[in-house]
Amino acid sequence: MNKSVNVLLNSRNAIPYTINSVLNVNSFTTINLNNLSYYVNLRNILKQDKKYHMHWTYIGGENVISSTTTNNSVVLVSIDFNTNSVVSTSGGALHSQLIGFLKPLVLVGSSGTCYLQAEDNTNLPIYLENAPGNAILNVRIMDQLGNPYIDDTTFSGTANFSGGVMTITGVTAGRISVGMYMFISSSLSFIVTSFGTGTGLNGTYNVTYTGTFTGVGVGTNGTAFMGGNPNAHYLLSLKFTEVDD
């Protein structure tokens, strides 16, 4: 039997990669879940003179997807293995280390909440001519144009603000999710850090804005990078199986 090695990547345990310097949104530092690096020294657990097939599976946290998706209707995954890989595509890969795509799992009774996933048979296995030679694996989650993936967080509603708590009293479109970048105006933005009593619609939410407003309109700007919600946290499982010569 050919030897197999399983590697589990947890986005909550990745090497910190901050986007605060790029976005500078109320000086809130967070993790860019679309571009994470992991320390995995595969040279110590895989034979360098062997060829491998790599199967992979993925399950993500809550995202929002609507019936009017554009670039985010297809979600791609790439990993830098620092080795020669063969990926079969009809039009050419957008990224040299593209390993496949994710599909949305929509819960029964939900019109917008989805969980991105890839099962073992969702994508064909990747063939590696030799074991990865780098100790740092970089994982990118992209839309079909090769840009960082954001979900369909087109949201609008009415809110009150006080001491870092946003109370939504009237939703006219979309749902709120943790990590969403929202706007009171073009010059005032904030981030939803956690749920209070609300779980996507009316209710309270903890946010990075600590000022006071009453009865103001809030919304999202999904046209700009990170204007909506970036990819949710995920678990990515990689299985390397030796291939006979």
Residue 194 sits in the same domain as residue 237? no
Residue 131 sits in the same domain as residue 65? yes
Average pLDDT over residues 62-88: 65
| DSSP secondary structure letter of residue 177 | -
Residue 14 sits in the same domain as residue 105? yes
Residue 166 has what pLDDT? 95
- Asked, for residue 98, whether it belongs to a domain, the answer is yes
The better pLDDT of the pair 195, 204 is held by 204
Residue 229 has what pLDDT? 62
Residue 142 sits in the same domain as residue 207? no
Express each pLDDT in 35-68 by its tens digit. 888 988 888 888 888 889 999 999 998 877 765 4
Count of structural domains, the chain: 2
Residues 207 and 125: beta-carbon distance below 8 Å: no
State how far the alpha carbon of 151 is from the alpha carbons of 1, 72, 184, in Å: 42, 7, 20
- Asked, for residue 227, whether it belongs to a domain, the answer is no
Residue 228 has what pLDDT? 53
Q: What percent of the chain has pLDDT over 70?
A: 73
Residue 168 sits in the same domain as residue 138? no
Express each pLDDT in 17-27 by its tens digit. 444 333 433 33
Dist CA 70 CA 152 (whole Å): 9
Q: What is the pTM assigned to this prediction?
A: 0.67
| 1 — pLDDT class (breaks 50, 70, 90) | low
What CATH number corresponds to the domain at position 115? Answer: 2.60.120
Average pLDDT over residues 99-115: 77
Residue 25 sits in the same domain as residue 144? yes
The better pLDDT of the pair 29, 16 is held by 16
Residue 60 sits in the same domain as residue 131? yes
Residue 100 sits in the same domain as residue 208? no
Express each pLDDT in 206-224 by its tens digit. 998 898 988 888 887 543 3
- Asked, for residue 136, whether it belongs to a domain, the answer is yes
- Asked, for residue 226, whether it belongs to a domain, the answer is no
Dist CA 103 CA 131 (whole Å): 28
Q: With a cut of 50, say whether residue 226 has pLDDT above it.
A: no
Q: Print the domain residue range for 45.
A: 4-150+232-243
Average pLDDT over residues 165-181: 80
Residue 58 sits in the same domain as residue 14? yes
Residue 132 sits in the same domain as residue 182? no
Residue 88 sits in the same domain as residue 195? no
Q: What helix, strand, coil percent values describe the chain, rounded to 5? A: 5, 50, 45
